Structure 1
């Protein structure tokens, strides 16, 4: 057993000496290096994109159903219909909303921003966090208070580093008191979640002169039964508006999550497959260089066989050389892939998510490539006739 281990160790040392003394193997490893690093970088970028999209969708709120109406008289959501939606089994919170575009002004600074009129549940349903001050309360809606909560970008535009709490702004010519500022949510689905003002639903309806509730957000109690909750909401809406099923839509956020997950998984597999082709090309390069090595070392093989080396020893020697070549390329490829991923993350603002399993699989695949493409040259070397090999010039 010790002799066998010593033989393998000696073969590894010989393989390393061969690589060190010959520039061709180093060039051959480029195929493996590029392949492994490509797999790591492309899949890591795809995973990062998936996490980024998932985070953006989750920023809209979790366990979320959205009812959108198309502004017709046939489907008009009222306080009574909102209460019936609240009574649906599995619903934790309901937040009706009206929206529009308004002009906000402070002194000489003005901007066009999105307006949302809603209730106090909106904060939990849409998972909004208050950075300063407070959010809307039920009393604000009941008494039609002229107060607003600003998005972080709106607050920055109007007040800079100054605290806006307690100060007043003009919204379409009407004065409103600022009671809160939201934490930044960043961009979501191509739109900024920070360029916004939020006010009580009753106040917004009066400001934009529209009492038609265009959107209702419904938060489920847990993610497991959202399909059941959606079916119940659909049944409730059909009972409320039996002739208006074409005038509204019910959107399940989980459906979007599933669709995006399917798309990104397919993209990840495609990118991984494209990068995997580089590994196969690298394997062909290893096979070619090993065949050249067999030809160059024919006399050496003949001498080894003449002094007692068996076919198995020659086969093992060249197979180990191929594996050492591919494993070194795999290690360098892993380091190059991680380094390139970090550079892309820093300079191109890409989200990169490394996976230990992907890194390990890419390295093992590089070893597999070394074994598969090293078998043929190793087998050819082991079959050489020692007398003919010694005569080879």
Structure 2
């Protein structure tokens, strides 16, 4: 009776006797497994990266944006504030202003917000404090504005000059004292102008006074949880539609509404879909290497069967059963696949780690991919060796010995 242990030893001996050929045979499996593991890991890293990016600009945020001016006022803000599930809301207004510090002038986006924006916008302060609703000519500046936009760095308590242009063409210049500097969230995500690094925040009442306006560009709200954000958004949509005269039948028609709504959950869902599609595409390409690798194993096993025809004849003449000969070559084929899988896993883990570091992504490696990689390599070896092993097992011992 040929034991599995003995079969394994014979398989290792056969592989060791032709090191170069065995190495070339496993190369396709190594590349295929490594590519699949690296791609899955990179997909998970990208997904976590964008999730962290999106989360850095707000806590369970809902953005309400008007498609026309003079649409949102205090009444709409009260509607949003009183919607069940809304934990906070800040009105928004936005203008591009000429900003002067000492002798340097730059064009920078200035946002009018309320004090609640610090919480709903997930604002973290590097120095100073965020604006208060009682403030007037006070400003909070983004990290890039403070350190990169001007010839000299701006610190809190410095004074900057902001020049706005009204709709009628009149320019208004005001001096603002820097109350604080926003800590960089280290995010490159930009959605509807909520990236804080390169912006200046001033009280929205001051913004409206300067621009001679009494309406808001939109609102930045926060739901109580990410799990309930879609339900809260739907309720908010219904209330705003009713307030602004949008017929109920047009509630699902985005073109019929004078405003748009987007929430964190929807963006995360889009990111998940994009990551899944990209991961599937890359993994499909990587699977081609596995197919090529399986063909390589099949070819080398056919060669091995031919080379060892005499040995097979001797084994059969000594009483070895067909299934024992079959298992001998199947084990050898699976060992080749497993060896390629182990090397592929190591290469894939290392490749994903280096790629994540090079791109500044968080390193995420699904541990279950190790088991999947081992299983895939074993299955590939099994399927690739099935035909050659069966061919060896069905040999007639007399013909096999005569071949020798």
TM-score, with structure 2 as normaliser: 0.88
Q: Give the equivalent residue in structure 1 for 2:280.
A: 269
Instruction: Provide the C-alpha distance between the structure 2 equivalents of 1:170 and 1:163, rounded to a whole number of angstroms.
Output: 12
* Alignment of 1:111 onto 2:122: no
Instruction: Provide the C-alpha distance between the structure 2 equivalents of 1:227 and 1:304, rounded to a whole number of angstroms.
Output: 69
Q: 1:169 to 1:346 in 2, by over 3 A?
A: same
Is contact 1:154–1:194 with CA below 8 Å preserved after alignment?
A: yes
CA deviation map 1:246-295 (0-9, x unaligned): 32122233222222212322322232222123212211211111011000
Aligned match of 2:201 in 198, 205, 213? 198
Q: Give the equivalent residue in structure 1 for 2:31.
A: 34
* Alignment of 1:184 onto 2:184: yes
Runs of 5+ consecutive residues of structure 2 not aligned to the other structure: 164-172, 248-255
Is contact 2:59–2:222 with CA below 8 Å preserved after alignment?
A: yes
Shift of 1:243: 5.3
Q: Give the equivalent residue in structure 2 for 1:64.
A: 61
Is contact 1:49–1:352 with CA below 8 Å preserved after alignment?
A: no
* Alignment of 1:170 onto 2:161: yes
Is contact 2:104–2:151 with CA below 8 Å preserved after alignment?
A: no
Aligned match of 2:378 in 363, 367, 373? 367
Instruction: Provide the C-alpha distance between the structure 1 equivalents of 2:153 and 2:245, rounded to a whole number of angstroms.
Output: 52
Instruction: Provide the C-alpha distance between the structure 2 equivalents of 1:28 and 1:160, rounded to a whole number of angstroms.
Output: 61
Q: 1:328 to 1:210 in 2, by over 3 A?
A: same
* Alignment of 1:207 onto 2:210: yes
Instruction: Provide the C-alpha distance between the structure 1 equivalents of 2:359 and 2:122, rounded to a whole number of angstroms.
Output: 29
Q: Give the equivalent residue in structure 1 for 2:140.
A: 149
Instruction: Provide the C-alpha distance between the structure 1 equivalents of 2:90 and 2:196, rounded to a whole number of angstroms.
Output: 17
Residues 217-366 of structure 1: pairs in structure 2 closer than 5 A: 217-242=220-245, 246-349=257-360, 352-366=363-377
Is contact 2:147–2:154 with CA below 8 Å preserved after alignment?
A: no
Shift of 1:340: 1.9
Instruction: Provide the C-alpha distance between the structure 2 equivalents of 1:205 and 1:151, rounded to a whole number of angstroms.
Output: 21
Instruction: Provide the C-alpha distance between the structure 1 equivalents of 2:111 and 2:204, rounded to a whole number of angstroms.
Output: 8
Instruction: Provide the C-alpha distance between the structure 1 equivalents of 2:49 and 2:390, rounded to a whole number of angstroms.
Output: 49
Is contact 1:72–1:247 with CA below 8 Å preserved after alignment?
A: no
Instruction: Provide the C-alpha distance between the structure 2 equivalents of 1:110 and 1:308, rounded to a whole number of angstroms.
Output: 94
CA RMSD of superposed structures (Å): 2.2
* Alignment of 1:11 onto 2:7: yes
TM-score, with structure 1 as normaliser: 0.91
* Alignment of 1:136 onto 2:131: yes
Q: Which moved more, 1:202-211 or 1:110-119?
A: 202-211
Q: Give the equivalent residue in structure 1 for 2:42.
A: 45
Higher helix share: 1
